Every structure is written in C-alpha cells, then in structure tokens.
Structure 1
C-alpha cells in the first residue's frame, strides 16, 4: 500500500511538472505574439516623438533621444496641414453618421420585427441583398446624383446616405427587436401608446446594447473611410482625417513628415478608443443578444 501511494505521489509530481512546463511554454508563446502585435504601436508612438533629424537615422532608435512633444502642437499650428479643421470635419461626419444610422436603421428594423405582412419576408431579403452590392457598383450613380444636387465638395454627401438606413445595421437591430415579448407591446397599447410611441418610448430605451453596437460600428466605418471623402472633397478645408493624413505626403513637404504622421495617427485613434471604452459593456451585450435569435 505504501509503495503504491509513493508511486501515485511521484506520478502526480511528474504531471504537475509537465503542466507547469506547458504553462511556461504557452506563456512564452503568448508573450512573443503580444510583442509582435504591439511592435507597430511602439513604432508609431516612438516615431511621433522623434525630431526630423532622428527620424531619418538608420537603423531607427527604439527610444527617442530627445522627446519632440512639439510634433503634436505643430499639427494644429502648421497652416499647410490644417489638422484641427480636418479633425473637426471627421467628428462632424462621424457623429451625424451615427445619428442618421441609428434613427433610420432602427425605424426600419422596428417595422420588420413587429409587423408581419404578406411580403415582409421578401422585402427583408431584398434589403439584405443590398449587402452583396460592392460600393463601386453604386459609386458612380451616387456621385452623379450629388453632383447634380450641387453638393460636391461638401460634407453632406458623406452624411446623407446614413439617413437612408444600412442593411447590416437593420439586420442587427431587427434580430434584437424580435426578442422583445409581444406582451410588452400589448401592455403599451392598452395604456394608450401610439405605434410611434411604442417605437420611441418603449423599444429604443430597451435596445441600449444593440444601439451601442450600431453606434460603434457606424463611427468606426465613417471615421476610417477614405474612398468616399476622396470622391467628393476637393478643398483642403473640407478634408476629413484620412484624406488630410494622405495629403501630408504631398509635395508641400521637402520630405515625408513621418513623425507628424505618426502623431496624427495617435490622435486619430483616441476617439475610437474612448468610444469603445465607454460603450464596451453594452457593445459586448449587443453582440451576444443580437446573435441569440
């Protein structure tokens, strides 16, 4: 019995050693992957704090010898860049895009989720089929439409399409609205709520997680969009951040200001990080709840 117990104890020790060894190997692999993925971020931060002279040094320095904090202020003071105005343009476009997407997509999704008509399924499939249309297929007709309306070189062509709904957001919100019980709406009708009040005062307050998901997706897509602003914007005063940062590589500069570009990249990432930090909990809830149906 004693020999069996000692043998079992020795086997248990060997298993624990093997388990600890596998944990150490796994930790090392994860650490290497993390360092590899964070290396571009480190390069972006360090380059943004380098002077123009140090930026051209090869091989590049891992830590700046002199921290050039003035790169961030130069973005707003250099009249050739107009970074502050472009930052404001991007905020205006992204905020109004979020508002338009939430209002239009939630209204359409509410109709598909709560009202059953003979052709509602066909109409819903027709809306979803627009997801298969690549943007270049509608790019030219949409461009000609806004040109004829006299809206070229303004921010309106970047904002107005969001007020006509997004098929993907309609699908997300419809899945969430369908999970709300019919008894809730019957109680609202008994209390005298109109159909619009059922949507505005009953559905939207309960759809916080789904609306947060829509808001984050819409903001990120609009904030990072480069192709659409390139099509419609000509003057530098109307540029959004992606176009303005691309224009920083133009011939106005004697050499590419990579330190300023990296500083602009850091500032351009901050609103997305802030939005996700504020709405992270509801964003995760929205992803989970819209997938349950």
Structure 2
C-alpha cells in the first residue's frame, strides 16, 4: 500500500471515529445497567435494554413520537408537493420575472432562522396556531433549499423527453407528472429525507410555539427527560437519544440509493 493511499485511509478512519464516536458512545451508555458506572470502560459489562423500557415509563414517549410523526408527515408531504411545483416553475423558460423570483428565493437563504423567528411567531400567533401541531409545521411547509434541489433536477431532464411528450399531445400537467417527476426520483428522495430530518430534529421552533406538554414533539420531550430531577440519569437520556435517532437512520438507509442519485442529479446542471 502506497503512503498516499495509507494517508487517505487514515484520514477516512479518523473522520469515521469523529463522526460516529459520540453516537456509538451514547448507544453503549444506553445499554449499561442501573448500577454500572457510566464511565467504567467502553463496553457495558452486562448489556441490557431495560433503559429503553424505563424511558417509555418515565414520560409519554409514544405520544411525543406520534406528535412528531404528524409534523414530519405534514412537512414531507407539503415539501414534496410545493418544492416540486416551485422547482418546475423556476425551471421553465419563457415567463417574465423568473430570474427575479429565483434571485429573491436564493437571497432568503442568507438570513438565519433567528433573524426571522420573531416575525414568524407573530404570524403564527395572529393565525391562532400557537400551541398547535399545525403551528409547528407551517414554517417548514416548504423549504427554499428543496425548491432549488428540484429546480436543478428538472433542469437536468433531457429536452428530448419533453419534446417527445409534446409531440404525443401531453399537456403541461401531464409532462410534469409523467416526465419530470419520474425523472427526478432521486431529488424527491433528497427532499423527503431533508424534510423529515428537519421536522424530526427541530427543537427551537416547537419550544417557542408549544406550551401544553400534550402537544410536545419528541425533542421537547427528551429535553424534559434530561432536565427532570427525578430521572436525571445519563443512561435514560442516552436511550431516549438513540430512540429518537433510529427513525432517521432507518429512513436514510431505505432511501440512500435514491438520495445519492438525487445529489448527482442536482450537480448535473444548475
């Protein structure tokens, strides 16, 4: 093995350790018994799944998971619908103002969430959606980044396919649903994964909007678990964190082939 190749493997190995080390540590901590020292070695002496059962007993885990799934499902559905339609519109030539709209949308990406969250909260309050799951979902109903991803994917669709559809008598809606969407399945998978992760992992916005614990999402529930004086146990916190991570891991591995295809589609033409 050449020194250059060995150096690449070394860098990749170090990156793997840095990226996955905290997750592996959390997982191993969640397997430790009640009396076992959390810092006593790397591997638990007597692995047990008891901590996961204790998490479910300590707070309404299933209720928080259900609330989060509702928000995530709404976010995925609305992003797939609006991002694909918006990306398609921005990819179509021949209408005035297309470049101006594209420029404005890209410019909004420069503003951090913290700079607009007050105005967003006031809007949600005026709509009467404070302390509702709809209020949690609404700001993430469509992402500008997802619109850009779909636009890039649609621009990469060969013009010959659309021309053939036009010759066959397909209208605008038929071309969109039968030509462009099937050709951008990878980009749709990217939108699905990013939308789900954004809704599932969101903590700050639900913290601002929700006040009733019955409406808490999973991240807020885990915060109450970690901060509760009666259950301040690192094993429980680790088990809750792993339980929250599991759905995202499953979703990614289920869609990873489409995900990487979608990344490639977005890099073909912008």
Normalised by the length of structure 1, the TM-score is 0.83
2:95 maps to 1:117: yes
2:227 maps to 1:250: yes
Which residue of structure 1 lines up, in the alignment, with residue 52 of structure 2? 72
User: Which structure: larger Rg?
Assistant: 1
2:23 maps to 1:46: no
Which residue of structure 2 lines up, in the alignment, with residue 263 of structure 1? 239
Which residue of structure 2 lines up, in the alignment, with residue 229 of structure 1? 206
2:260 maps to 1:284: yes
Q: Which SS does the other structure have where 2:40 is aligned?
A: coil
2:172 maps to 1:190: no
Which residue of structure 1 lines up, in the alignment, with residue 104 of structure 2? 126
The CA deviation at 1:24 is 6.6
Q: Any stretches of 5+ residues in structure 1 without a counterpart? A: 1-18
Normalised by the length of structure 2, the TM-score is 0.89
The CA deviation at 1:213 is 1.1
Which residue of structure 2 lines up, in the alignment, with residue 200 of structure 1? 177
The CA deviation at 1:281 is 1.2
Which residue of structure 1 lines up, in the alignment, with residue 195 of structure 2? 218
Which residue of structure 2 lines up, in the alignment, with residue 61 of structure 1? 41
- The alignment of Structure 1 onto Structure 2 pairs a total of residues equal to 269
> Contact 1:175–1:291 at 8 Å: present in 2 too?
yes
Q: Any stretches of 5+ residues in structure 2 without a counterpart? A: none
> Contact 1:146–1:152 at 8 Å: present in 2 too?
yes
2:158 maps to 1:176: no
> Contact 1:225–1:242 at 8 Å: present in 2 too?
yes
CA distance in 1, matches of 2:63, 2:104: 40
Q: Deviations over 1:219-267 (max 9, x none)?
A: 112211111111111122211111111111334x335221111111111
The CA deviation at 1:67 is 2.8
> Contact 1:131–1:167 at 8 Å: present in 2 too?
yes
CA distance in 2, matches of 1:185, 1:22: 47
